[in-house]
Amino acid sequence: METTKRYALSPDGQFLSVIDNIPWAKQVELRTWRNGKPYRKMKVPLGLIDCVRQLNDGSVYIAGKRQGEMSRLLWINGVRITAQAEGYPILDIAPDAGAAMVSYHAGRSGNYGVPYSIAIAGSEIRLRPQVYRGECTVHDKGIVLFDDGFRQLNGAVKPLVPGAPNVHLAGLSRMRRYALFARQKRAVVISPVTGARWTFPIEHGAAIKDDLPGIAENGRFATVVVERDAYRMLRRLYAAFPSLAQRLPQRRRQDVLLYARPGRLVANLSASLDREVVTDTPWYPSPDGRALLGFIREKDTRHCVLVRRR
């Protein structure tokens, strides 16, 4: 029987819940630790787990189903199932569990996620559909953020990011407190809840790679992976002799750039001779901007590294 583990870490990093995903099982085991100490161990009547969201108060939302049964969403407090909803296949739950993405089957075009708000009424979880107008993500306080820079708050859809809808979502911080939108020459780091934002320029000829920005949880620092000309400096130097510049080979290079609010370039991590900065996963900055978490490749081996400056 093939099993995989599903895990959920609370937004404050104190609670960790781990569940085995056993497709044909009648129940699975939920284990939770608080700061590394056992907090909960119980059986959950689900087999295939779709989504888990651990909250800061220790409660946990689990979405899944058993073979031949309808999808269910459970809210567990302590070792008791406090509330539940049936019939909603959940793809994703907001960090504060105020909203969820429900899977809709759309015939040949496949499934897509529709935002729903979540409310608790006694032992029932009530899900109510929100406005759907394209690709979106759910955030704290029931906010729905659309990929074109619009935000849905209390049922009203309004542009949030300057330049919307001519912007696109390039990435989110892990707890979705901040989002990074890219335009042609500028990138915007914005809070979907408060709307607070700062911007930084995208250099000429460079492009931010989607899904690879890393944003600190306090929104003060952001890393982006940019793809740019490997011979940018030489080409600039040869500007007086265009024929020389044209002879340089066309090669693109990917660098990791760290920006600080309000838009200052702090560092540029690029490939060195024997170690290569891996740019297919985000580099996450710490809230003080002094540490970065990511991957490097050394002699064909990947290492996950924490790098830090004094």
Q: Is 292 in the site for another protein (CB under 8 A)?
A: yes
- Of 86 and 288, which has the nearer Cβ to another protein? 288
Name which of 165, 169, 219, 210 is nearest 191 in CA terms: 219
- Of 242 and 287, which has the nearer Cβ to another protein? 287
Could you give the CA distance from residue 111 to residue 91 in angstroms, rounded to a whole number? 10
Per rule CB under 8 A, count of chain residues that contact another protein: 47
Q: First and final CA of the chain: distance in angstroms?
A: 49
- Of 9 and 81, which has the nearer Cβ to another protein? 9
Q: Token pair for residue 16?
A: 């960790």
3 state DSSP class of 167: coil
Handedness of CA 27, 66, 75, 134 (dihedral sign): positive
Contacts (CB under 8 A) with another protein, residues 267-286:
267-270, 272, 275, 277, 281, 284, 286
Q: Is 306 in the site for another protein (CB under 8 A)?
A: yes
Could you tell me the strand order of the sheet in which 28-34 lies?
4-9, 15-21, 28-34, 37-44
Q: Is 196 in the site for another protein (CB under 8 A)?
A: no
Q: Is 42 in the site for another protein (CB under 8 A)?
A: no
Q: Which of 9, 42, 48, 157 binds another protein (CB under 8 A)?
A: 9
Burial of 268 (0-12, 13-18, 19+ CB in 10 A): exposed
Q: Which of 98, 218, 232, 253 binds another protein (CB under 8 A)?
A: 218
Q: Is 308 in the site for another protein (CB under 8 A)?
A: yes
- Binding span for another protein by CB under 8 A among 5-13, 131-139, 142-150, 234-242: 5-13
What is the biggest distance separating any 2 CA atoms in the chain, rounded to whole angstroms?
Answer: 76
| DSSP-derived secondary structure letter, 271 | -
Q: Is 288 in the site for another protein (CB under 8 A)?
A: yes
Q: Is 212 in the site for another protein (CB under 8 A)?
A: no
H or E stretch covering 247: helix 242-247
Q: Is 154 in the site for another protein (CB under 8 A)?
A: no
Backbone angles phi, psi at 15, to 5 degrees: -100, 135
Nearest-Å Rg of the Cα atoms of the chain is: 22
Q: Which of 169, 175, 189, 208 binds another protein (CB under 8 A)?
A: 175
Q: How far is the CB of 33 from another protein (least distance, A)?
A: 5
Q: How far is the CB of 154 from another protein (least distance, A)?
A: 27
Q: Is 245 in the site for another protein (CB under 8 A)?
A: no
Q: Is 184 in the site for another protein (CB under 8 A)?
A: no
3 state DSSP class of 232: helix
Q: Is 299 in the site for another protein (CB under 8 A)?
A: no
Strand-pairing partners, residue 216, are none
Could you give the CA distance from residue 137 to residue 174 in angstroms, rounded to a whole number? 12
Could you give the CA distance from residue 187 to residue 200 in angstroms, rounded to a whole number? 5
- Binding span for another protein by CB under 8 A among 68-76, 128-136, 202-210, 296-304: 296-304
Q: Is 287 in the site for another protein (CB under 8 A)?
A: yes
Chain contacts with another protein (rule: CB under 8 A)? 4-5, 7, 9, 11-13, 16, 18, 33, 35-37, 174-175, 214, 216-218, 265-270, 272, 275, 277, 281, 284, 286-288, 290-293, 296, 301, 303-310
